Structure 1
């Protein structure tokens, strides 16, 4: 099983579960401000999701001076996490529950 690595500012922490990675990114790092609209949100997955669900690719490219390759990379990160993570569990954990129902 591959591990999930946090690459925010060279963090390098690794996790067995993608949900643990997203919780870590949301609680273990400073929040960031969206360069397009000024919204302050957790770095990592939630920042990427915000950028691509709330703004156009063109807005993102202009505001972040991003290349097409950087846009594709972040879109791939978002897609991979959404394909493999139980985002409801992540949100439940961030709201104070453990999010796990066995």
Structure 2
């Protein structure tokens, strides 16, 4: 049973492995621009990681008009992904250009 769902713009595609989810988010969806600093990056995990590693919660809340519940949901998603994911594998796959799932 798949345990990871994309959820970007209503995408309900599911994945057995979190690494496959991250590669999907990075290759199947348009890149987005960070509303805090203007950096363009893949939507999904990498966007969440950027927001919370590079900016304060307050900056995020102001820029995205986010509620505390929305912030907690994204922080929890980031934490859950980082507990399970082999980010090196994801980066290797993305740099290799295969994007294969």
Paired residues in the alignment total: 98
Counterpart residue number, 1:59: 59
DSSP-derived class of the 1:95 partner: helix
Q: Is 1:47 matched up with 2:47?
A: yes
Using CA pairs below 8 Å that are at least 6 residues apart, which structure has the higher relative contact order?
Answer: 2
Q: Give the TM-score, by structure 1 length.
A: 0.92
Counterpart CA distance in 1 for 2:88 and 2:59 is 28
RMSD over aligned CA atoms reads 1.2
Which residue in 2 is equivalent to 1:88?
Answer: 88
Give TM-score, length-normalised by structure 2. Answer: 0.93
- How far apart are 1:97 and its partner, in Å? 6.9
* Residues in 2 aligned to 1:5 and 1:12: alpha-carbon distance in whole angstroms: 6
Where do 5+ consecutive residues of structure 2 fail to align? none
Moved over 6 A (4+): none
